[in-house]
Amino acid sequence: MKKFTDTVLKSCAPLSVAGAALFAFSAPAEAGSIKNGNATDLIVYGQVNRTFMVFDDGDETGYRNMDGDAGSTRFGLRASGKVNESVSVGARLEAELQSNDPATINQTNESDSLRSFKERLAFVYIDHKQFGKLTLGQASAVSDGMSDGLDLGYAAGAFDGVETGRRNVNGLLFREDNTGAALSSRTIGNFFGTYDRGRQDQINYVTPNVNGLRLEAGLYDAGDWGAGVLYDNKFGAFKVRGRAFFESLTNSSTSEGAWQLGASVMHDSGISVTGLYGQSLAVDGAEEDARWAATVGYTANMNTLGPTGIGVNVSGSQDRTVVGSEAIAVGLGVNQQIKSAGTNVYGSVAFWDVDMPAGQTPLDQIVTIAGWDAGQVLNAASRGAPVLRSSQQPNSGNGRPPGRPFFYDWRGIRTPSAIFPQAGGIVTRGGFL
């Protein structure tokens, strides 16, 4: 670990000027190498992702400048090396920077005073071709990416995967639907949240791919755990993806855990259909809530810039935050890759509505228009930018994909019809290399 740390520190100084230029212009860099006498591959990657939102809450129309949240601004280091032809080991460090977190931005707050610079990932792993992958550290929970990594259509880049773009507007407050039209305490995120646990300190195991099927299990802190099933395959003209998970909570006062099932099918014509359903498991005396979502999309090369995805999304919930509530959101999204510039431009228009139960103050609808750009800073694995190698061997070009959707090309720059780039026919999901 000391050797790896020394390598990272020594490499940062000569890269500082070039790194500044990359962040400013998102320009491709020339190939380079790190020489420390071993065969470890060190990859520097990152992205800048910003959001511009226009909203109408029934009483006020305004706009906000924010960070993207489904794919926030971040940078990181990935290191990997081979023990032999069957076994590889590696590590990953990743940090997130947000100046205006969408979760904190609403009608009364335009600026996030708690500007964050925080650790997202910090783990080591050992990967055996026949026996699977074991990860230790802060990595994606089993549920992480089970929603936003489900949809095979390129239009998913305009949403949160199969969501309705909720994460980039989730701080907005609903207004009370009465004469006063006062702001309520209820946010979009209250009713349209997911069961995604994000990153957790854990020990995690993923089986090898067997005919497109992988199993995953994670043991988190405090006795919490999760288990998941991931399936990716193709049958004739159809690509198929399935995701399912169960996670147990031991220290929650309202929920014992959650489960979710989801599937996505895409035809070679570019038409895709995706759906999911999940429920929480309430403790005694509490109410179970449920969520669902569906997307119909179309992916095609409509221009010379790169793949274009268009989709319509519907998502909703029951009994989230308020027992007896029913929420529904409808969105139209477009995602356009600009391949030559190394970026995506994407956005959505969404309508948010919540029906409150009898005895509760009704809420007015919200309309949002959110457009944003995720500009890649450096990602050697999927763009051909430099792999910073300790040896001078040229990059084979088969670096592993970025894992969960952080990069501009997580929408499928290598495989436009799929959210994630693919390596060796295996689609990675989660915070793994």
pLDDT tens by residue, 191-201: 998 898 889 99
- Whether 114 maps to a domain, the answer reads yes
pLDDT reported for residue 412: 26
- Whether 432 maps to a domain, the answer reads no
- Whether 176 maps to a domain, the answer reads yes
pLDDT reported for residue 430: 32
Q: Domain containing 362 — which CATH number?
A: 2.40.160.10
Distance CA 66, CA 378 (A): 22
Confidence label for 161 from pLDDT (cuts 50, 70 and 90): confident
pLDDT tens by residue, 186-231: 999 999 988 988 899 999 999 999 999 999 999 999 889 999 999 9
Residue that is written with structure tokens 């929650």 in the block? 252
Range of the domain at 310: 2-427
Least confident of 252-256, 325-329, 349-353, 409-413: 409-413
pLDDT tens by residue, 38-68: 667 888 888 888 889 999 999 999 999 988 8
- Whether 433 maps to a domain, the answer reads no
pLDDT reported for residue 93: 96
Most confident of 26-35, 173-182, 259-268, 412-421: 259-268
- Whether 154 maps to a domain, the answer reads yes
Confidence label for 414 from pLDDT (cuts 50, 70 and 90): very low
User: Average pLDDT in the 124-145 region?
Assistant: 96
Pairing of strands 271-282, 290-300: antiparallel
- Whether 25 maps to a domain, the answer reads yes
Confidence label for 371 from pLDDT (cuts 50, 70 and 90): confident
Of the candidates 78, 145, 60, the residue with the CA atom closest to the CA atom of residue 420: 145
pLDDT reported for residue 253: 63
> In degrees rounded to 5, what are phi and psi of residue 205?
-130, 135
Distance CA 199, CA 143 (A): 9
**Residue pair 292/274 in contact by the 8 Å Cβ criterion:** no
Residue 408's CB is within 10 A of a number of other CB atoms, namely 30
What is the number of structural domains in the chain? 1
Of the candidates 378, 369, 368, the residue with the CA atom closest to the CA atom of residue 407: 378
pLDDT tens by residue, 332-357: 999 999 888 878 888 899 999 999 99
Distance CA 139, CA 219 (A): 11
Least confident of 136-145, 240-249, 252-261, 386-395: 386-395
Average pLDDT of the chain, as a whole number: 79
Question: Does residue 407 surpass a pLDDT of 70?
Answer: no
- Whether 414 maps to a domain, the answer reads yes
- Whether 149 maps to a domain, the answer reads yes
Confidence label for 431 from pLDDT (cuts 50, 70 and 90): very low
DSSP SS3 for 76: strand
pLDDT reported for residue 374: 61
Question: Does residue 287 surpass a pLDDT of 80?
Answer: no
Confidence label for 167 from pLDDT (cuts 50, 70 and 90): confident
Of the candidates 68, 73, 269, 292, the residue with the CA atom closest to the CA atom of residue 192: 292
More confident residue, 401 or 148: 148
The one-character DSSP state at 211 is T
User: Average pLDDT in the 171-181 region?
Assistant: 89
Burial class (CB in 10 A: 0-12, 13-18, 19+), 146: buried
Question: Does residue 274 surpass a pLDDT of 80?
Answer: yes
Distance CA 146, CA 239 (A): 17
More confident residue, 390 or 341: 341
**Residue pair 226/217 in contact by the 8 Å Cβ criterion:** yes
- What is the secondary structure of 306-325 as a DSSP string? --EEEEEEEEEEESSSSTT-
Confidence label for 285 from pLDDT (cuts 50, 70 and 90): low
Q: Which helix (H) or strand (E) holds 257?
A: strand 255-267
pLDDT reported for residue 375: 59
Q: Which helix (H) or strand (E) holds 225?
A: strand 225-235
